[in-house]
């Protein structure tokens, strides 16, 4: 195992882990391509996410953006960022009017209001006309909605949160103080109640029970009261009418929310994180989902730095956990796949503190989670500076040279797994692991191998075993001439095991 891709094909994810992507780039979230381009971009996204109603309405806005009533309403947002999600604000405004029974001509075409989706071009044209007429008739309400930050409080995203909370409880054995930044109505803060009520599934039961949650605090620039009629309407309006299943799940979550108290504060995410404190006897968990794209780059970096500073003071009696569910990248092929990642201070399971582990990927709605396969590899050098390689006898990378490595068994710590794999594949015993880095590889079957690589010193004559066909020591200068697993040479060079001349 080991290696991921060439440096040219890699990009850092939201919190630092190296991720691969390739494809056609759309407008970046911080770009300002103009109103028409922004609506055409969201139309393409809606098509890919099985939302044809919104795709057509977004194209309608793009076509008529310079005509009243749209031209006046959208003029203040002519220089908006893609990440400001102006299209979703406008579309939710009309959806909200339909939900409130103020736009019956639109409601008859929306599944979330009991209507039937357009069946043909004639239906689509009638919906377009009703859509534009509704905007014209309710300009004041639409203008107010355009000024409101999107508040899609998708509870499907708590599936991954629940599982990783279980893992944190198993690792630290402490109750949790749960803080959510960009919390909207804070439905995720009721994660344990959502699982208990069957609103969301409970992945990885083998990781144990959910922890006791002793504190539930969320911050948002405009928090929503999920127990109020106005708040419920705001949240449901941001569900896409094509996605009736998500609409029903939100309705059930809102029923649960009334029985669980949370504290919501109006605050900037960076200010909130900077004000957090560790408390002995509890695990502080900072969680967020689908909000990173709304933050300017300097705010994202500020939050990272604040968490790292707080993490430097964390102990096993007062640990810090950061869990995020955010888009993989801005590439068109991957922007609708989200990464579920967790970082802990101190480290868990043989990893050092501050290492982000990408545990899985999800669609934007957060469910289902495609869980990553945790693996470990060993970079072993002898007293001559040679590196121990194996020729793999099984997929992935069958027949290619790589460092020893393989899947983690059950609750086995990552570093112990790396040492075990070295022994099983080469017969070389190693000790005193040093964490080097983490990479990802496509498994070829839809999931991802997440590989933590550790450095060891070793000596002796290797004997191929387990799933290795051969095992040998190689001088660093020889490795570049071998048929190696994808990304191995680049990873070893990046980590300093190969010089640029090797």
pLDDT at 52: 97
Q: Which residues contact 427 (CB under 8 A, 6 or more apart)?
A: 460, 462, 463, 465, 471
What is the band of 80 on the pLDDT scale with cuts at 50, 70, 90?
A: very high
More confident residue, 447 or 112: 112
- In this structure, the dihedral spanned by the alpha carbons of residues 395, 396, 401 and 404, taken in order and rounded to 10 degrees, is -90
In a domain, 57, yes or no: yes
Min mean pLDDT across 252-256, 328-332, 471-475 is at: 328-332
Within 10 A of 8 (CB to CB), how many other CB atoms are there?
Answer: 8
pLDDT at 6: 29
Same domain (yes/no): 217, 258:
yes
Q: How far apart are CA 80 and CA 164, in angstroms?
A: 35
Same domain (yes/no): 392, 249:
no
Q: Which of 326, 312, 226, 307 is nearest to 269 (CA)?
A: 307
**Angle, CA 159 vertex, CA 153 and CA 164 arms, to 5°:** 115
Same domain (yes/no): 235, 310:
yes
Domain final residue pick, 352, 371, 390: 371
User: pTM for the complete prediction?
Assistant: 0.86
First to last CA, the chain: 20
Same domain (yes/no): 211, 327:
yes
Q: How far apart are CA 345 and CA 352, in angstroms?
A: 8
pLDDT at 330: 53
Domain final residue pick, 371, 391, 407: 371
pLDDT tens per residue, range 343-386: 999 999 999 999 999 999 999 889 999 999 999 999 999 999 99
The structural domain count of the chain equals 3
Same domain (yes/no): 217, 141:
no
Min mean pLDDT across 161-165, 309-313, 395-399 is at: 395-399
pLDDT at 25: 46
In a domain, 452, yes or no: yes
Query: DSSP strand E in 346-497: where?
Result: 356-362, 370-371, 373-381, 387-392, 401-402, 405-407, 434-442, 448-457, 468-474
pLDDT at 492: 93
Q: What is the DSSP letter of 407?
A: E
Domain extent at residue 367 = 155-371
pLDDT at 152: 76
pLDDT at 335: 54
Q: Indicate whether 319 pLDDT > 50.
A: yes
What is the band of 4 on the pLDDT scale with cuts at 50, 70, 90?
A: very low
Do 485 and 3 meet the contact criterion of CB atoms below 8 Å apart?
A: yes
CA 489, 494, 499, 501 dihedral sign is positive
Same domain (yes/no): 383, 489:
yes
Same domain (yes/no): 340, 432:
no
Same domain (yes/no): 174, 270:
yes
176-191 average pLDDT score: 96
Min mean pLDDT across 51-65, 91-105, 141-155 is at: 141-155
Q: How far apart are CA 342 and CA 358, in angstroms?
A: 7
Min mean pLDDT across 13-27, 421-435, 477-491 is at: 13-27
Q: Indicate whether 20 pLDDT > 50.
A: no
Within 10 A of 11 (CB to CB), how many other CB atoms are there?
Answer: 16
> How is 275-325 classified by DSSP, letter by letter?
T----TTSEEEEEEES-GGGS-HHHHHHHHHHHHHHHTT-BTTB-EEEEEE
pLDDT at 443: 76
In a domain, 499, yes or no: no
Task: State which H helix or E strand residue 169 sits in.
Answer: helix 158-172
Same domain (yes/no): 164, 272:
yes
Within 10 A of 390 (CB to CB), how many other CB atoms are there?
Answer: 27
Same domain (yes/no): 207, 352:
yes
More confident residue, 375 or 500: 375
Structure tokens at 228: 């109020």
Do 236 and 99 meet the contact criterion of CB atoms below 8 Å apart?
A: yes
Same domain (yes/no): 195, 59:
no
- CATH number at 449 reads 3.90.79.10
Domain final residue pick, 83, 115, 146: 146
pLDDT at 500: 53
């Amino acid at each position: 195992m080991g290696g991921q891709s060439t440096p040219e094909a890699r990009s850092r994810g939201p919190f630092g882990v190296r991720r691969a992507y390739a494809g056609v780039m759309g407008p970046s979230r911080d770009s300002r391509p103009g109103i028409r381009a922004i609506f055409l971009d969201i139309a393409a996204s809606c098509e890919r996410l099985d939302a044809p109603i919104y795709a057509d309405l977004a194209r309608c806005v793009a076509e008529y953006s310079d005509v009243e009533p749209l031209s006046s309403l959208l003029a203040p947002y002519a220089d908006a960022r893609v990440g400001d999600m102006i299209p979703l604000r406008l579309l939710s405004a009309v959806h909200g009017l339909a939900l409130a029974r103020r736009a019956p001509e639109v409601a008859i075409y929306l599944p979330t209001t009991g209507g039937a989706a357009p069946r043909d071009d004639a239906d689509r044209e009638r919906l377009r006309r009703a859509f534009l007429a509704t905007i014209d008739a309710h300009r004041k309400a639409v203008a107010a909605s355009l000024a409101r930050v999107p508040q899609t409080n998708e509870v499907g995203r708590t599936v991954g949160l629940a599982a990783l909370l279980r893992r944190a409880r198993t690792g630290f054995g402490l109750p949790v103080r749960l803080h959510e930044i960009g919390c909207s109505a804070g439905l995720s803060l009721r994660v344990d109640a959502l699982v208990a009520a069957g609103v969301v599934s409970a992945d990885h039961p083998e990781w144990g029970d959910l922890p006791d949650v002793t504190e539930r605090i969320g911050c948002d620039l405009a928090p929503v009261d999920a127990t109020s009629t106005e708040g419920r309407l705001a949240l449901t309006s941001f569900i896409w009418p094509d996605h009736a299943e998500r609409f029903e799940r939100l309705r059930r979550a809102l029923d649960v929310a009334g029985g669980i108290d949370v504290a919501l504060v109006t605050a900037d995410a960076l200010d909130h994180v900077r004000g957090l404190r560790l408390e002995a006897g509890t695990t502080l968990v900072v969680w967020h989902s689908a909000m990173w794209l709304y933050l300017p780059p300097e705010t994202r970096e500020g939050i990272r730095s604040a968490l790292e500073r707080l993490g430097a003071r964390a102990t096993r009696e007062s640990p810090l956990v950061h869990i995020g569910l955010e888009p993989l990248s801005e590439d068109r092929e991957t922007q609708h796949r989200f990464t579920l990642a967790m970082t802990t201070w101190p480290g868990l399971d043989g990893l050092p503190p501050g290492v982000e582990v990408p545990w899985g990927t999800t669609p934007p709605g957060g469910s289902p989670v495609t869980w990553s396969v945790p693996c470990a590899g060993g970079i072993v050098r002898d007293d001559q500076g040679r590196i121990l390689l194996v020729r793999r006898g099984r997929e992935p990378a069958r027949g290619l040279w790589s460092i020893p490595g393989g899947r983690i068994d059950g609750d086995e710590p990552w570093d112990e797994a790396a040492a075990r794999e070295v022994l099983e594949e080469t017969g070389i015993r190693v000790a005193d692991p040093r964490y080097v880095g983490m990479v990802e590889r496509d498994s070829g079957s839809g999931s991802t191998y997440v590989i933590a690589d550790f450095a060891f010193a070793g000596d002796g004559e290797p004997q191929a075993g387990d799933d290795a066909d051969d095992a040998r020591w190689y001088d660093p200068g020889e490795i570049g001439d071998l048929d190696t697993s994808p990304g191995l040479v680049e990873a070893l060079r990046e980590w300093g095991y190969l010089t640029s001349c090797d």
